[in-house]
């Protein structure tokens, strides 16, 4: 392996400058659980590694009246230990917690999960369902965009070569909101999602759904926001009719691959089933 | 490119080393510091043979760069026993024959120690989930799980 450079900037601006200086041959390092594997196998050969973990903004999990701000390089262990986040968005925390083993949890970050841009990334559908945005820093300052706009295809994001994700902002939801993320894997631990489904919904005091977002993973080149699935829930009490419409919409939204882990038909079917179950779990949480 | 000059703490002792940017912490431990108790199985985060504790969290040293260790507190298998006494986990692994070839053992011991540091009384299910990132091709896991349970009981004074 040719010799490469490692830098660990302590400010957002210094990190952007390091990315710009690397002119396309730089790679952001968060937990390294994707990056170091890809370097090892020769899939990628960066010349400069820019470790963002010494930048305070990428590490903090902050709660205000309005929102949770989750540092892009916060770890799964840190997210699971944050009681406020866990209570308000158990779906996001559970989705992150599904990633790999305890060893991986000590390093893996939501920013890495998003920017690695795997269609099967577990934390991403949960963030999309919860309406999260991300703050992207670059030479011209920062911009905020919805999480669902970041990934453009397998391994591809809309970030330019001198930009990186600093943090996620998840607005505090109204009362009677619940979220959930479920995935199907052939084993019980340590596997890649065949289908993942995230749902976040809000009820009024009569139990009628006022707002909903449904996102699927592993069933298309990018995560999919299933708008007509959400529309099926809104205005209903999440009854059987609404859930059936949701399941059909989720199946129809899939554009999956056919591989040894699941055929196209199987993934479509399971997407409907998981979206339904995630909606039921989110409903229970919204009522609790 | 210039080598990185790193100052860190390994098993409570201050350590300095030079490393290349792409060297993993596992490479540094084994090749630069001569701490070969930490094993390399897969180098892709799947087997847990390279487990070490960094600032209280168990991680795969094959998925961390040596350069990232600046200012951290690292614990490896070499730090588990004292000069005259094995750690209760080590004793139980020996007594219960929780190893055969032994290649996975340092990783299991370090990961199990990280668990018991956080949770002195884990259930069997908690132990199995916690150790899901450690693979063993010999024992079938049951003896490992029992050794962790018994070491936990011993450490609680139960
Ligand atoms: C054994 C094992 C099991 C796994 N299991 C799962 C699983 O069950 N589900 C799952 O979804 N994933 C899984 N993964 C993949 C991986 O752990 C996750 O995708 C993780 O969230 C990546 O985060 P990271 O911080 O380690 O990313 P890194 O490896 O540091 O980075 C990943 C990519 O994103 C870029 N990047 C990182 N942070 C930023 C940022 N803030 N801004 C811009 N670019 C950035 C990097 O340059 C790199 O290209 C597994 C990996 C391993 C090794
Ligand atoms: S060698 Fe690190 S997990 Fe296998
Ligand atoms: S004892 Fe041989 S791999 Fe575990």
**Cβ-contact A7, A27 below 8 angstroms:** no
Look at the domain A177-287 and name its fold. Enolase-like; domain 1 (3.30.390)
CATH class assigned to A5-171: alpha beta
d(C-alpha A167, C-alpha A249), whole Å? 31
- So what's the pLDDT on residue B2? 75
CA of B85 to the centre of ligand 2 (A): 28
A46 Cα–ligand 1 center, Å: 16
Query: Residue A173, SS3?
Result: coil
pLDDT band of residue A8 (cuts 50, 70, 90) is very high
Residues B71 and B21 in one domain: yes
* Predicted local confidence at residue A2, as pLDDT: 60
Domain final position from B34, B62, B79? B79
Q: Does the interface ipTM go beyond 0.85? A: yes
How would you write the pLDDT of chain B (158 residues) with one tens digit per residue?
A: 579 999 999 999 999 999 999 999 999 999 999 999 999 999 999 999 999 999 999 999 999 999 999 999 999 999 999 999 999 999 999 999 999 999 999 999 999 999 999 999 999 999 999 999 999 999 999 999 999 999 999 999 96
Q: Quick one: residue B136, left, alpha or beta (phi over 0 = left, psi -120 to 50 = alpha)? A: beta
Please list the residues that pair with A71 across neighbouring strands: A167
Element (H, E) at A233: helix A227-233
Give the relative orientation of helices B88-95 and B142-156 as an angle to the nearest 10 degrees. Answer: 140
- CA separation for the pair B113, B151 (Å, rounded): 10
Most ligand 1 atoms within 8 A of CB, residue of A16, A22, A28 to mutate? A28
User: Measured from the CB, is residue B47 less than 6 Å from ligand 3?
Assistant: no
Give the residue from B26, B53, B79 where a domain finishes: B79
Predicted confidence (pLDDT) per residue in A51-108, tens digit: 999 999 999 999 999 999 999 999 999 999 999 999 999 999 999 999 999 999 999 9
What does DSSP say about strands B51-54 and B13-19: parallel, antiparallel, or unpaired? unpaired
Q: State the sign of the Cα–Cα–Cα–Cα dihedral B113, B117, B120, B126.
A: negative
> Mutate which of A103, A107, A109, A188 to test chain B, going by most B C-beta atoms within 10 A?
A103
Q: What is the separation of C-alpha B109 from the centre of its chain, rounded to a whole number of angstroms?
A: 6
Helix, strand, coil shares of chain B, percent, nearest 5, are: 40, 15, 40
Q: pTM here?
A: 0.97
| Chain B residues with CB-CB distance to A39 below 8 A | 22
Q: Cα B131 vs. chain centroid, distance in angstroms?
A: 11
Taking the C-alpha atoms of residue A232 and residue A247, their distance in angstroms, rounded to an integer, is: 10
Rg (CA), chain A: 19
What is the domain range of residue B122? 88-156
The three-class DSSP label of residue A101 is: coil
Q: What is the CATH number of the domain that holds B28?
A: 3.10.20.30
Q: Residue A12's pLDDT is what? A: 98
């Amino acid at each position: 392996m040719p010799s490469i450079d490692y830098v660990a900037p302590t400010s957002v601006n210094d990190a952007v400058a390091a990315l710009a200086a690397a002119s396309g041959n730089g790679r952001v390092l968060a937990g390294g659980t994707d990056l170091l594997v890809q370097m090892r196998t020769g899939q990628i050969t960066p010349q400069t590694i820019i470790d963002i973990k010494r930048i305070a903004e990428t590490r903090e999990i902050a709660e205000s009246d309005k929102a949770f701000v989750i540092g892009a390089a916060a770890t799964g262990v840190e997210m699971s230990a944050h009681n406020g986040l866990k209570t308000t968005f158990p779906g996001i925390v559970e989705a992150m917690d599904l990633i790999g083993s305890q060893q991986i949890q000590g390093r893996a970050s939501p920013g890495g999960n998003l920017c690695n841009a795997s269609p099967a990334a577990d934390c991403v559908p949960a963030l999309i369902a919860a309406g999260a945005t991300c703050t992207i820093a670059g030479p011209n300052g920062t911009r905020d965009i919805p999480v669902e706009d970041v990934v453009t295809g397998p391994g591809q994001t809309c970030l330019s070569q001198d930009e990186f994700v600093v943090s996620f902002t998840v607005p505090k939801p109204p009362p009677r909101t619940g979220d959930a993320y479920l995935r199907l894997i052939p084993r019980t631990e340590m596997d890649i999602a065949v289908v993942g489904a995230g749902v976040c919904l809000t009820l009024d005091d009569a139990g009628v759904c006022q707002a909903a977002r449904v996102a699927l993973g592993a069933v298309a080149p990018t995560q999919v926001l299933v708008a007509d699935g959400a529309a099926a829930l809104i205005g209903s009490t999440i009854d059987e009719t609404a859930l059936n419409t949701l399941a059909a919409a989720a199946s129809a939204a899939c554009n999956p691959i056919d591989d040894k882990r699941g055929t196209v038909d199987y993934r479509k079917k399971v997407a409907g089933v998981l979206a339904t179950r995630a909606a039921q779990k989110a409903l229970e949480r919204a009522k609790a | 490119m210039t080598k990185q000059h790193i100052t860190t703490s390994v098993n409570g002792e201050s350590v300095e080393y030079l490393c290349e940017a792409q060297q993993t912490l596992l490479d540094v431990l084994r090749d630069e510091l001569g701490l070969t108790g930490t094993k390399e199985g897969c180098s892709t985060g799947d087997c847990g043979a390279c487990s070490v504790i960094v600032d209280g969290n168990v991680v795969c040293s094959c998925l961390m760069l040596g350069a990232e260790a600046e200012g951290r507190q690292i614990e490896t298998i070499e730090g588990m026993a004292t000069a005259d006494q094995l750690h209760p986990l080590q004793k139980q692994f020996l007594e219960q024959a929780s190893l055969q070839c032994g290649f996975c053992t340092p990783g299991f011991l370090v990961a199990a120690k990280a668990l018991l540091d956080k949770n002195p009384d884990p259930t069997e299910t908690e132990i199995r989930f916690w150790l899901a990132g450690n693979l063993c091709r010999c024992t079938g896991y049951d003896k490992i799980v029992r050794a962790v349970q018994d070491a936990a009981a011993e450490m609680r004074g139960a």
